[in-house]
C-alpha cells in the first residue's frame, strides 16, 4: 500500500480518487488533519471502498506517523499535506511554518527510521514523493525563460518560503542519508473539489451568486495553469519511474494573465448559465487592492518530465476549464456545503463521533 498525506484536500483527494480508479490499485492510507481545507465529502465516493483507509491526524505527530508506518508497512509516501493559500500565509504564517516545514521534517524523520529498518528488497523500492510548487522559484520578468529544475530558489511569500524550506529538507535527506526521495514542482492547478478561496473556483461561484469578481491589482499577473487530473497522472508517472534524488517540474504549457482567466470563465458561464438579466458576467469584474509582494509571473518548462518520463498534459486550458465549470454547475450540494461551512458539521457527525 501507499501512504498519502493531505488526501482530503483538493489535489490529494483528486489523486486518491484517480489512484483507486485503477482496478489493480494498491490500497491507500490517507493521513489528513482535516484543517478548513480538508473535506471528507471529496472522498465520499470511497465510503464503502475497503482499499481506502482514512486516518485523522497531523504529519507533525511523531508517534502517530511512526505507528502508521509500522502497522501498515507502505512501500511509498506521497506528501501533499500543507497549508497552501498564499493570502492566508500573509495574514498568518505560523501554521505554514508548522505544517510545511516542521511537519515535513517530522515525516522525513519518521520515514527515514522506518526505511532504515526495512529488508533489502522493500528498502530498495521505497519512495518518498514530496509534492511542491513552482512558487519556490520566485517571480519571472515577462522576457525570462520558464522555470527549469536548475533555476535557483527565490521564494517571496511566507507560503512559498515554507515550501522551499521543505524542498531543501527533502533534498538534504537524500544527499546526507541516502533517503530515497523524489520532488515535483507543479504550477497552479484547477479542477473539481478546489476550495473556493483560490482564484478559479472563487470566480465561478461569485459569478453565479451575483457577487463581485475580485481581480488583484491590474490583473496582468501571469500563472501557468494545469488541470488537476494531469497533475495526478504526472505524480503517478514520477512515483513509478522517477530517478531518486531528482526533481521534476510539472506544468500545463498554459501561461495566462489573471484577467484573461477571469474573462474566459465569464464567457463560458455566459454560454452555459446565462445571467437572468441577460448581461455578461464580466460586468461583475472588480479591481481590488493588490496582494502584498505579489509575484508577477510564473512559468514552467516541463520538458524534463516529458523527455525523461514521457509525460505530457492531456487537457488544454479550454477543455480543462470547461470541465471544471461544468463540475461546479453539476455539484451544487458540494458547493453549498463548502460555502455554508456545513461540510465541517457533516464531518463531525459522520466521522469524528
Ligand atoms: P489544500 O489546501 O486543498 O489541501 C491540503 C490538505 O492537507 C488538506 O486536506 C488539509 O487538511 C491537509 N493538512 C494540512 N495540514 C496538515 C497536517 N499538519 N497534517 C496532515 N494533513 C494536513 O492544498 P492543495 O491545493 O490540494 O495542495 C496540495 C499540495 O500540492 C500542497 O503541498 C501544495 O503546496 C502543493 N501544490 C498545490 C498547487 C495548487 O495549485 N493548489 C500547485 C502546486 C503544488
Ligand atoms: P491563487 O488561486 O490564490 O493561487 P496562487 O497565489 O498560489 O498563484 O491566485 C492565483 C492568481 O490570482 C494570483 O496571481 C492572485 C490572483 N487572485 C486574484 O486576482 N483575485 C483573487 O480573489 C484571488 C484569490 C487570486
- For 121-169, give the DSSP string: HHHHH-EEEEEEEGGGG----TTSPPB-TTSPP---SHHHHHHHHHHHH
- Of the bound ligands, which one is closest to the alpha carbon of residue 39? 1
Which is the catalytic residue, given 159, 190, 227, 281? 159
Instruction: Specify the pLDDT at position 24.
Output: 86
Ligand nearest to C-alpha 204: 2
Domain 2-194+226-252+299-315 adopts which CATH fold? Answer: Rossmann fold (3.40.50)
Q: Judge whether 144 counts as a catalytic residue.
A: no
Q: How far does Cα 46 stand from its chain's mean position?
A: 20
What is the chain's mean pLDDT, rounded? 96
In angstroms, the Cα distances linking 149 to 130, 184, 187, 296, 303 are 15, 9, 13, 20, 10
Expressed in angstroms and rounded, the spacing between residue 38 Cα and the centre of ligand 1 is 8
Annotated catalytic residue 122: no
Q: Which of 23-37, 206-220, 255-269, 338-352 has the lowest mean pLDDT?
A: 338-352
Considering every ligand atom, which ligand is closest to the CA of 59?
Answer: 1
The pLDDT value given to residue 207 = 98
| Nearest ligand 2 atom, CA 203 | 22
Distance CA 223, CA 228 (A): 15
Question: Which of 4, 6, 248 to mutate for ligand 1's pocket (most ligand atoms within 8 Å of CB)?
Answer: 6
The three cell numbers locating residue 226:
494545469
Residues 229-242, mean pLDDT to the nearest whole number: 98
**Does the pLDDT value for residue 66 go beyond 50?**
yes
- pTM for this structure? 0.97
Catalytic residue among 58, 83, 135, 301: 135
pLDDT at residue 353, as a whole number: 46
Q: Give yes or no for residue 111 CB within 6 A of ligand 2.
A: no
* β partners of residue 249: 185
- pLDDT exceeds cutoff 50 at 305: yes
Q: Is the dihedral of CA 314, 326, 87, 142 positive or negative?
A: positive
Average pLDDT on 120-133 reads 98
Q: Residue 352: which pLDDT band, with cuts at 50, 70 and 90?
A: low
Find the mean pLDDT for residues 62-85.
98
* pLDDT, position 347: 58
Q: Domain residues of the chain, as ranges?
A: 2-194+226-252+299-315
Could you identify the atom of ligand 1 that is nearest to the CA of residue 14? 26
Helix-strand-coil percent breakdown of the chain, rounded to 5?
A: 50, 15, 35
Instruction: Please report which confidence band the pLDDT of residue 101 belongs to, taking 50, 70 and 90 as the band edges.
Output: very high
How do beta strands 28-32 and 127-133 pair?
unpaired
CA–CA dist 326, 329 (Å, integer): 5
pLDDT at residue 344 tops 50: yes
> How does residue 349 score in pLDDT terms, banded at 50, 70 and 90?
low
- Known catalytic residue at 134: yes
Q: What is the pLDDT of residue 351?
A: 53
Q: List all residues whose CB is within 6 A of at least one atom of ligand 1.
A: 5-6, 8-12, 31-35, 37-38, 58-60, 80-84, 99, 103, 131-133, 163, 186, 188-189, 195
301-336 b/e (C-beta count within 10 Å ≥ 16 → b): bbebbeeebebebebebeebbbebbebbeeeeebbe
The residue written with cell numbers 484547477 in the block is 190
Question: Is there an atom of ligand 2 within 6 Å of 139 CB?
Answer: no
What is the per-residue pLDDT for 341? 86
Q: Among residues of the chain, what percentage have pLDDT more than 90?
A: 94
pLDDT of 350 > 60? The answer is: no
Q: How confident is the model at residue 137 (pLDDT cuts 50, 70, 90)?
A: very high
Amino acid at each position: 500500500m501507499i501512504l498519502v498525506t493531505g488526501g482530503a484536500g483538493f489535489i490529494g483527494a483528486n489523486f486518491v480518487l484517480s489512484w483507486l480508479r485503477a482496478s489493480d490499485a494498491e490500497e491507500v492510507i490517507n493521513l489528513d488533519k482535516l484543517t478548513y481545507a480538508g473535506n471528507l465529502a471529496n472522498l465520499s465516493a470511497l465510503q464503502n471502498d475497503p482499499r481506502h483507509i482514512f486516518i485523522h491526524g497531523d504529519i507533525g505527530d511523531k508517534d502517530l506517523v511512526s505507528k502508521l508506518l509500522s502497522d501498515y508497512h507502505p512501500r511509498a509516501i506521497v506528501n501533499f499535506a500543507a497549508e497552501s493559500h498564499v493570502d492566508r500565509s500573509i495574514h498568518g504564517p505560523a501554521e505554514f511554518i508548522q505544517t510545511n516545514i516542521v511537519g515535513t521534517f517530522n515525516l522525513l524523520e519518521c520515514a527515514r527510521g522506518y526505511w532504515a529498518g526495512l529488508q533489502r528488497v522493500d528498502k530498495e523500492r521505497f519512495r518518498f514523493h514530496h509534492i511542491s510548487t513552482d512558487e519556490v522559484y520566485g517571480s519571472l520578468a515577462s522576457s525570462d525563460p520558464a522555470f527549469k529544475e536548475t533555476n535557483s530558489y527565490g521564494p517571496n511569500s511566507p507560503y512559498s518560503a515554507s515550501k522551499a524550506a521543505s524542498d531543501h529538507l527533502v533534498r538534504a535527506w537524500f544527499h546526507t542519508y541516502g533517503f530515497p526521495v523524489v520532488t515535483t514542482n507543479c504550477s497552479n492547478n484547477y479542477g473539481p473539489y478546489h476550495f473556493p478561496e483560490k482564484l478559479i473556483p472563487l470566480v465561478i461561484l461569485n459569478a453565479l451568486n451575483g457577487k463581485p469578481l475580485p481581480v488583484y491589482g491590474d490583473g496582468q499577473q501571469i500563472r501557468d495553469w494545469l488541470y488537476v487530473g494531469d497533475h495526478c497522472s504526472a505524480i503517478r508517472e514520477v512515483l513509478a519511474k522517477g530517478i531518486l534524488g531528482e526533481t521534476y517540474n510539472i506544468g500545463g504549457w498554459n501561461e495566462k494573465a489573471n484577467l484573461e482567466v477571469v474573462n474566459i470563465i465569464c464567457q463560458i458561464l455566459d454560454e452555459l448559465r446565462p445571467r437572468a438579466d441577460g448581461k455578461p458576467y464580466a460586468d461583475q469584474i472588480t479591481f481590488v487592492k493588490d496582494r502584498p509582494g505579489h509575484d508577477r509571473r510564473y512559468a514552467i518548462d516541463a520538458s524534463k518530465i516529458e523527455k525523461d518520463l514521457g509525460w505530457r498534459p492531456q487537457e488544454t486550458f479550454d477543455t480543462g476549464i470547461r470541465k471544471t465549470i461544468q463540475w461546479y454547475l453539476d455539484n451544487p450540494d458540494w458547493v453549498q456545503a463548502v460555502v455554508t461551512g456545513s461540510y465541517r458539521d457533516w464531518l463531525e457527525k459522520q466521522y469524528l463521533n
